[in-house]
Copies of this chain bind each other. A is one copy, B any other.
Amino acid sequence: MDLDFTAEQVEFREQVLTWLTEHKPRESRPRDDAGIREYDLAWQRTQWEGGWAGIAWPTEYGGGGLTLLQQLIWYEEYAAQGLPGIDACFVGLNHAGPTVMLRGNEEQKSFHLPRILKGDVIWCQGFSEPEAGSDLASLRTKAVIDGDHLVVNGQKIWTSSANCADFQELLVRTDNTGSKHDGITWVIADMHTPGIDIRPIKTMEGGAEFCEVFYDDVRIPLSNVVGEINQGWSVAMSTLSFERGTAFTANQVRLAKVVEDLIDFSRDHVGPDGRRPAIADDEIARRLARSRASVASLRAMTYVGICHTMKSDTPGPRGSMLKLHYADLCKEIAALAMDIVGADGLRNSSRWDPMGWVGNYFYSFSQSIGGGTSEIQRNIIGERVLGLPR
């Protein structure tokens, strides 16, 4: 075993570092939808122009044609610079893009993939519904074929960036007669189509990163279907396995930074006894050290996972282990921060604020829910990693 990077990879890391240092955005990320769209797309475009967009994507679609390891190096250096998450571009780069690449036709690939990489468009997801949360396959948003179009009626929920997106990866029910897993279709919706209505959802953290999306006779060309009609479930499963694969690298590097920030904060912030710094408290010190150890182990798991993926090509159910461990740690570290801030926790903050521990704590509750609850991840691990009976 080794952690060695090839000369080429080391050089790659240096190039990433140099380029990021020169080109990273100087302004902080706006908080309004229009501002976010402009900011995220501009930054994606800058990455594209610098040759850094889609590092591990094939060159034929404008990607770098490099390995997951180089992608990892990019994410590490990227997060180490304290750069914001790829947020609005996340679905395009990590869900829709890879899915179209794997299951789309040539026309779809050549149209969409370069636009995603170049920062021309923002994508959003349209999977969950109010009555279909963990039980995604029970979705009811209905699409009827009318000539060369699908006509969509129904409702989606938990759509991030819906307000500023151009396209949506949308799951609709095109057949009601078979099992619930059959009869689902994965289709690309143009978010500017008439009949789409978007309403933001305010979260307990105070932000509104999610929306409900309503569809009233929304007409989508049949040519936008990815895979076959009624075959969307297997397409969706490949989408989700991407999410649980490499996409977490940046998150976990960022979590490591949160722990280091919290350690620094504990040196300066007075502890529970009102006299000594928080870090002098035995309980807090040990919880900080345990967080450090756990976050390190998350990184090691990620490395092992990437080594697996590089040999087998798909992330597989191991991604659920990373997701679960990550969610548990986020919540544990956020709760520790609340104990460290003590009565200062009465003051609200946003997770976007520097040392916004209260906002970060409220936000942490989403981590064991969004993208598949921790209960669902435990089912997946139990059944697909360990082979326990259903």
Partner-B contacts on A (CB < 8 A) = 272, 281-284, 286
Closest to A282 in B: B282
User: Which residues of chain B are within 8 angstroms of A286 by Cβ–Cβ distance?
Assistant: 283
A286 to B271, CA, bound (A): 14
A353-B272 Cα distance, complex, nearest whole Å: 37
Copy tally for this chain in the complex stands at: 2
How far, in angstroms, from A281 to B282 measured CA to CA in the complex?
A: 6
A281 contacts which chain B residues (CB < 8 A)?
282
List of B residues within 8 angstroms of A282 by Cβ: 272, 281-284
Q: How far is the CA of A286 from the CA of B284 in the complex (A)?
A: 11
Interface centre among A272, A281, A282, A283, by most chain B C-beta atoms within 10 angstroms, is A282
A272 to B283, CA, bound (A): 12
Q: Which residues of B contact A283 (CB under 8 A)?
A: 282-283, 286
> How long is the Cα–Cα vector from A273 to B183 in the complex, in angstroms?
64
Q: Name 7 A/B residue pairs within 8 A (Cβ), A-sorted.
A: A272-B282, A281-B282, A282-B282, A282-B283, A282-B284, A283-B283, A283-B286
With a 10 A CB-CB cut-off, give which of A272, A283, A284, A286 has the most chain B CB atoms.
Answer: A283
**In the A-B complex, the 5 residue pairs with the closest CB atoms:** A283-B283, A282-B282, A282-B283, A281-B282, A283-B286
A272 to B272, CA, bound (A): 20
Q: How far is the CA of A281 from the CA of B283 in the complex (A)?
A: 8
Smallest beta-carbon distance A338→chain B, Å: 15
The CA of A286 and the CA of B286, in the complex, are separated in Å by 13
Bound CA–CA A237/B269 (angstroms) = 56
**Residue of chain B at shortest CB distance from A272:** B282
User: Least Cβ distance of A312 to chain B in Å?
Assistant: 35
Instruction: Give bound CA distance, A282 to B280, whole Å.
Output: 10
B residues less than 8 Å from A284 (CB atoms): 282
